[in-house]
Structure 1
Amino acid sequence: MFKKIFYILPLVAALGQPAAGQAESLANQLFGAKKEGSNQAAMPIGSYAKGCGAGQVALPETGPTWQAMRLSRGRNWGQPIMINFLEDLSRTAVSIGWKGLYIGDISQPRGGPMTSGHASHQIGLDADIWMLPPSRLNLSRAERETISSIPVRSSDQRSVTRNWTPSHHALMKAAASDSRVDRIFVAAAVKLEMCKTARASDKSWLQKIRPIYGHDTHFHVRLKCPPGASSCQTQKPTVEGLSNGGNGCDDTLKWWVTDYLNPPKVKNPPKKPKPTPPKRGPRQYTMADLPGQCKDVLAAQ
């Protein structure tokens, strides 16, 4: 009898604990499984690329001046301030001659890391807006899965295409001029063109337009942490001089379409450092990597 107990006890203990080395559940799988927002007060929690969103609400799939695209992804959710901003900007789009906006990914119902795509969009304050001016605002769900936006940047990444129009400029200027907006990510060639064509006496808003790779078929709007959002981590300016009134229309911008695309050769390059383990990205995060409040967001009704 003693021998039977001796062998059974370790088995019972093992059932109550994860096996040694067993991985924790990935945060993106847990948040990706949620289909509704949490019944909590609205609050962006953590940073844009490491956090979650309490009390998020859905952008209606179709409105008088917008349509949400790629509905199968379930990413038409965001903080109330973001939903209000998108509705406001879609009305602005009508005033410049568009029928409205096609709106891409915002966030998952409770934010958090995504199972595919974005590293950010985690706290409900990021949204992708298509460069494609809507032809109509009664697209079916099926059409929204198959229709694609248009590139406004050339294939060599150095200039804009004929798809870029003054109305695109006007729309992005309106977005950047909104006090709720922190920054807008676009292809570098787009910002170069905007710097060339903006009025010399009115370029301060261009500091919010930030060049980044990709982003040729949409522009990515990021809002500031809302007033009173104590759990939201704001960002500092990432371009030299922007905090002192610069607009980023300088040699730093030109780097994106020169050295970034065609790095200069170095005669005596330094020895390559020893390889280091790759950094863990959002799709490797567990709940332990996120702010503690995210557990409450996940568990809330």
Structure 2
Amino acid sequence: MHVLKRFPEEPRDPSIEKTRQAGTSATKGGSAKARFAPAPFILAVAALLAAAPAAAQDVTPPGFRLAPLADVTPATPAKQLFGRKAAPAALGLGSIGFYARGCLADGVRLPITGPTWQVMRLSRNRNWGNPAIVAFLKRLANRVPQVAGVRGLLVGDMAQPRGGPMITGHASHQIGLDADIWYRPMPDHVLSAQERETMSAIVMVRSDRLDVNDSWKPSNMAVVEAAAEDPAVERIFVNPAVKKAMCRDATGDRSWLAKVRPMYGHDYHFHVRLLCPKGSRLCTPQVPPPPGEGCGKELDYWFSDAVLHPKPPTKPPPPPHQITMSELPAACRQVLAVP
């Protein structure tokens, strides 16, 4: 059975997952290091932000330096259009469409530094979202020191200023209700802009993909549990090995495990998805997770040969589909048209 039919959580494509995982790799002992040196333009952006006074670092980062498109046609991938928007669109519409096929109006930015959180990879300009997820991240970050004994959270990708498909890295994160939270806890100092570009995340999965490695700590599970207990959360995506560890180690009230769903990747972060906020008339909800903890036979599938050791394709796969504007809700054209 194909995994996306069995677990219709987040459409995936091998090239997207490969891009997403390109930032870090596991080394012996569970640590991680960058696979690549950041591109010169990224370091230039980091240096620009690092040179700004500390109080001024909450300005909108410049994002990708993308040249204007010479010719926009109906076949132009929507990611090329949304990826060039550096500021939100005020339309009073909120989250529009489905998590993996939609856009965002009235997006708000999570400040890059808070008392219990810091935003990573500023050059991507992806710390935007529906006001609901910004409020959630602040709420969770403020709980973390008490429930997990760590200083705070490192927040990865949320959404672009106007949501929509991204040029790199994600199939979802399109309507401002998704956020990636690193397992690595917030350090004891305010990171410079360059540190936020170059600091590695920590891979939590063993090289055989069958379980977590020694980097996995009870504090990591405590953070995920705190997130899952929030009533605004619809799902949390984790690596199947992480779900396996949680199923083994969770005690007491385990009802929160129902929201924690196994998904490809997610070796070094967990992905939080919120419910459509009340009054979001254009937001398309996801089917609720199936009942139960998700710790039975449905988890076994993720450790089968079909998943861990897939056979190579007999012929080259087709190129990944590029979503165009005609495939997004009509309101997304309004979002894109706002100057």
Quickly name the TM-score band, shorter chain normalised: 0.7 to 0.9
After superposition, the Cα gap between the structure-2 partners of 1:291 and 1:223, relative to the gap in structure 1 and judged at 3 Å, is: same
Give the equivalent residue in structure 1 for 2:298: 252
Equivalenced residues, count: 265
1:24, CA displacement in angstroms?
A: 3.2
Per the TM alignment, residue 42 of structure 1 is displaced from its structure 2 partner at its CA by 5.1
Give distance in 1, aligned partners of 2:329 and 2:337.
14
Cα displacement (A) at 1:25: 2.7
| Aligned twin of 2:133 | 82
Q: Match for residue 33 of structure 1? A: 84
The answer (yes or no) to whether the contact 2:247–2:257 under 8 Å persists in 1 is yes
Alpha-carbon deviations, 1:92-123, whole Å to 9, x = none?
11212111110000000000001111010000
Matches of 1:89 and 1:52, distance apart in 2? 24
Q: Please give the TM-score of this superposition, normalised by the length of structure 2.
A: 0.74
Are the counterparts in 1 of residues 234 and 288 from structure 2 also a CA contact under 8 Å?
Answer: no
Name 1:54's counterpart in structure 2: 105
Residue 264 of structure 2, aligned match among 197, 200, 213 = 213
**1:182-203: CA deviations, max 9, x gaps?**
000001011111011112x511
Pick the aligned partner of 2:240 from 181, 188, 203: 188
Structure with bigger gyration radius = 1
Verify: 1:291 aligned to 2:337, yes or no: no
Shift of 1:299: 1.3
Deviation of 1:280 (Å):
5.4
Q: Which runs of 4+ in 1 moved over 6 A?
A: none
* Change beyond 3 A, Cα 1:127–1:40: same
Distance (whole Å) between structure 2 residues aligned to residue 73 and residue 65 of structure 1: 21
Q: Which amino acid aligns with 1:55?
A: D
1:170-249 equivalences under 5 Å are: 170-199=222-251, 201-237=252-288, 242=290, 245-249=291-295
Identity %: 51
Question: Which of 142, 150, 168 lines up with 2:220 in the alignment?
Answer: 168
Distance in 1 (alpha carbons) for counterparts of 2:320 and 2:206: 33
Letter of the structure 2 residue corresponding to residue 46 of structure 1: G
Aligned to 1:110: 162
TM-score, length basis structure 1: 0.83
Distance 1:161 1:42 in 2: 43
2:267 partner amino acid: D
Q: Which runs of 5+ in 1 are unaligned?
A: 1-18, 265-271
Aligned twin of 1:261: 308
Task: Note the C-alpha offset of 1:254.
Answer: 1.7
Provide the C-alpha distance between the structure 2 equivalents of 1:56 and 1:136, rounded to a whole number of angstroms. Answer: 30
Structure 2 spans left out of the alignment, 5+ residues: 1-70
- Contact kept? 1:103, 1:130, Cα under 8 Å: yes
